Amino acid sequence: MAATYLKLLLMAFFWGGTFITGRVLAQSVGPFSGAFLRFAVASVCLTAIMLKMERHPVRPTGRHLALLLLMGLTGIFAYNVLFLKGLKLIEAGRASIIIANNPIGIALMAVVFFGERLNILKVAGILVSVAGAIIVIMRGEASALLTGGFGRGELYILGCVASWVAYSLLGKLVMSRLSPLAAVTFSSAAGTLCLFPAALMDGLLDADSYPLAAWGSIVYLGFFGTVLGFVWYYQGIQRIGPVRAGLFINFVPVFAVLLSVLLLGEPLTLSLVAGAALVCTGVCLTTLGAYRS
């Protein structure tokens, strides 16, 4: 059991680190090329792990193939292109706190599309988390909308949230037939194939000139941030349940902010700390609300 908790903590650390390596990568590599190379690495590793862990994985057919393609277009293609575009423009710490609202978006859309019920804990969590995100986006200043404090970078990162919500809802449908590992593997492969043509027009053929820091970021994002992160997360869900495993996601923005301060020299502002505290509290409340309902 202790090993499971350690893996989940490391998962949160690895996912927090993706904001640092993503910001480094975005400064020297195009978003389509960076996203393609990340998931080329991830898809190869995930396929090998799936074939080892699932001797006879279920083959998706018909409707599930279409859903996997949509998962690839939303959670792999759109999310990661927007992720790198956003991180080129805004700080890693701020981006991580905005994206920490993913569970809030999923909870809201699950009500709309799956008829899941809202309770007091969920509503409170959603309101608290959204308030935290607004504080971070506006840098604690209500006038930020009028003074240009809200720009393309923030919009790209909000697009990440929308893309991930769509990916997660599609995943609920796919995982009625496929295991989580198979769903992640097949959707990663689909997204990688979709990214390839765009990457060719985005500097992929000049990959031999990428700096060493970019290649290190690609390997980190592909293996640690994607493969180990997802495999350990789903193992945690299987062993201790989705609620307790899901609570570890709250550590992601904490690690991201700490790493951004230590490694990138980003400022630790009051609005960042307050926003992070509110978002983490809101996600906890929403997760507990989902468990009780």
Its domain, for residue 213, covers 2-292
Q: 239 pLDDT band (50/70/90 cuts)?
A: confident
Q: 148 pLDDT band (50/70/90 cuts)?
A: low
The pLDDT of residue 197 is 97
The pLDDT of residue 235 is 87
Mean pLDDT to the nearest integer, 60-78: 94
Q: In the chain, what percentage of residues exceed pLDDT 70?
A: 95
What residue has token string 């027009």?
Answer: 201
Q: Report the candidate in 241, 252, 284 with the shortest Cα–Cα distance to residue 126.
A: 284
Model pTM score: 0.92
Domain count along the chain = 1
Which amino acid makes up residue 170? L
Q: Which of 77-81, 135-139, 167-171, 209-213 has the lowest mean pLDDT?
A: 135-139
Q: Which two tokens stand for residue 31?
A: 């978003």
Q: How far apart are CA 33 and CA 196, in angstroms?
A: 8
- Asked whether the beta carbons of 66 and 5 are under 8 A apart, the reply is no
Q: How far apart are CA 222 and CA 253, in angstroms?
A: 19
Q: 145 pLDDT band (50/70/90 cuts)?
A: low
Mean pLDDT to the nearest integer, 166-175: 91
